[in-house]
Structure formats: structure tokens, C-alpha cells
A and B are shown apart, each in its own frame.
Chain A
Amino acid sequence: MRRYIAKRIVYLVLTLFIITTATFFLMKNLPGTPFDEEKLALLTQEQRDQIYASYGLDKPVIVQYVNYIGNIVQGDLGTSIYYTGQDVKDIIVDRIYPSALVGLQAILLGTVIGLILGVLAAYRHNSGWDYAAMIVSVLGVSIPNFVLAALLQYYIGLKWGILPVAFWESYDSSVLPSIALSVGVIAIIARFVRTEMLEVLQQDYIVTAKAKGLGQMAILSRHAVRNSLIPVITILGPIVVNLLTGSLVIENIFGIPGIGSLFVDSIKTNDYATIMGVTIFYSAFYVVVMLLVDILYSLVDPRIRLGSGRE
């Protein structure tokens, strides 16, 4: 196992490197400039060249790339052009916290409720509970989360005044966005758990356990749920990454200064350093989470041996 992890970490660095390189060159091909083109058009070519030079944008792309990699290795992510002069590292650190908190809460809430719903639905297959869970699941994915967010904001925030309408002011500000985001998670997890559980409940060892006299709860917790977790873990991986790295729409609706909107804005304004910084952060996060997920597989199901390919 340890050798496997070590190998994976090597691959991790390699993957990150490839992602960084690919993104860098793709990004340089984005149409437009990092500046305000309308104002720039009023300057002479020499003046424009000087502005470019002051940001190091006049050098050939390869040179810029090498410089950039050199800087990263030393921990310097560069400065933003759009948020003029701000250190990219500082910007990212500032904006991660809101997204992370909201995302984490959404995942926890979504996973727990999703698990419960899914187990219930499978256990009481084709009963009222089953249909209810399925309806919740379907609605959870079919209704776009921005509609849900807007409804939550309007009713719970404005009309009934229970929670803040928007902005990032106290812990309460994170509740509504988390709920809005969690619904999709609940839907997906409930679905997958139900499907897996239905299969698992058919298995021989469940029948055996029942025959041996094991109680319902024990069967469920010791055997059924654990064996249903594989798809949950698989699905959780990308979900975790998506949610923790910010949902642009939810952030905009609740006025949360998170990292999702930072990313989209930086792409739309050609803010090269920020694009790269956030990409590296996202990708690093993603590959680490994927590694954790794969390790989790083998923990949860001892039959899955990672790294072995005896065929």
C-alpha cells in the first residue's frame, strides 16, 4: 500500500505539471488582452507595448512559461492584472474559505441525508418511502439549483426573515447556500445508495445473515450499507471537488466572495496569473481527492486490490 501511495504521488506531480503546461499554453491563446481594450485603443502602439512590457507580456510565450514555472517552484504565484497588483496567492487564500465552508456543509448534509433516504428507499422497496425518496431525488436534479437558491433566499431569507438574505457576515450566512447546494448531493447519493442497496439486499450473504438470526439493524449497518458505499465514494470524489471549489451561481446569488466566481471572472478577463493560480489549486485538490478516493476503495472493500494487474 505504501509503495502504491508513493507511486501515486509521483504521478500526482506529473499530472499537475502536464495540466499546468496545457492550461498555460491554452490560456495564452484566449482572445483579447488582460487590459481594458477600449481604453487601450486610445493609446499609441508604443504606449501599448510599454504597458505589455511592464507585465512581462512582451517576451516570447516559452520564456514566460519557463519564468512562470520557476516562480511556482519557489511558491510565487504571480500578481493579478485584473485586481491590479494583488498577490494571487493572497487572493486565492482569501476566497477559499467561504466556498470551502459552504461546500463542506453541503457535502455533509447531502451525504448524510442522501444515505438515509437511499437506505430507507431500498429497504422499503416499492413502498411509499421508496417513491418519496425517488421523487425527492428527481426533483433535486431537475430543478436547477439557482432556482432553489432564489426561492430559499426569497422565502426563508426575505419573507420569513429567519436567515440572512445575502452577504458573508456571520456563520448564518453560510446556511442557505449550503442547503441550496446540498439538494443536488442528496438527490444523487440517495439514488446511488438505493440502487446499490437493492442489489446488495439480494445477495446470498444477506440471506445467510438473516437465516443466522441477525437483526435488521445489524444486517443493515454491518453488511448492507458498507457494501453499498463504493459508488457513493466514486461519486463523492468529483462532487467534493465541485462543491468545495465554489459554485459560481450560488455565490453570485448569495453575494458570497468565494472562489468559484473568482475563477470564471479571471477567465473572462484574461487575468493570466489568477487563471493559472486557481487552476493549479483546483487541479492539485482534484488529484489529491482522487487519490484519497482510491485509497478509500481499498479500505472499504478489501477485495479491491489497487495496483495489482494480474491478468
Chain B
Amino acid sequence: MNKIKMMLYLMLGALLLAGCGNMEEQPRLETYGESPLFGVAARDILPETVPVGHLREDTAFYEGREGDAYTTTLPVELNEDLLVRGQRQYEAFCAPCHGYAGYGDGIIALEGFQRPASFHIDRLRDVPVGYIYEVISEGFGNMYNYAARIKPVDRWAVVAYVRALQVSQNVPAAELSAEARAQLDAQSGSQD
């Protein structure tokens, strides 16, 4: 019995002695320090893994692309709410450069910044919606990317609104209703 007690005391003493170190210097790594095992102590997301809520499998919706090609159809439901939402987003984020009617004559462009292209040219009427989405998401030329400022669904709303803008500025007169034609004649006449 005494021997066992003696052993226990010795073990306890050994434990206590083990605690007598400088606690400031411990075998740990700084967050971004070098790690012999992983390169950097703060580990990257492992390949082939996705954080919860960050799965972006729907490339048409998140990237405007299907495979290598731009998506040509809106990946969200087109309705009036979307268009109105798109107008609000457009006039908040895009109109300062592109202008309220999309002619590339926003206040910033008129101040001397490089003027963006008008939406009402054949080239931009013929681009697929995915292209417009990508430009919003990634920027183009001097245009900054708006990925951090406009969320994907709102980017699609802006795309739909830009398309509606293009339609509004490019209607063959022959397709106008009689009522609209009368208003056109009246208003354009009054302007001349």
C-alpha cells in the first residue's frame, strides 16, 4: 500500500514539474504562419469542398454561362416585379455612367470619364443575356465589377431591365398600336 502511495506521489510530482514551463512559448502556430504540414497554418478550403451555402452549381444563374457559351435565356422568372426591381438597381448602380436611358451619357461619363457604349447599338442588342450578366459580375474595360454590390438575382433583374430598355428605344413604327402611333405623332410633332 505504501509503495503504491509513493508511486502516486512521484507521478503527481512529475506532473507538477511538467507544468513548470514558460507558457508564452508553446508549440503553436500563428494564424498565417508557416506550417511544415500544410504550408500555411490557416488552411485553405480543401479542393472539391464547398462551404455551406456557397454551392454554385447552377452556372447559368451564377455565372451566366452554360458550358462555354453564354446563357441565352433568363434563368429567373420574368415578371413585372423583376423589371421594376431591375429598374431600381439600374438607376442606382448603372445610370450614373450609362445614363437613365442607357445611351452611355450618365453624369460621370459627361464629367470626362471614358464613355461607356450605348445599349442601343446592334452589337449590344445581339449579345446574349449571359454576356450582360457577366459584364455586371466581372466588369468590362474601365467598368468595375459589381459582384460585391449587386446580388445575382438582382443582376438578372438588371439584365431584364436593360433588355426592356433596348426594346423601348427600338420599336418599328409599324408595330405600334394606332393609339401609340397617334401619341408618337403628337409628341414628336410638339417637340419639332
Are A and B a genuine interacting pair, yes or no? no
Residues of A that sit less than 8 Å from B by CB: none
Residues of B that sit less than 8 Å from A by CB: none
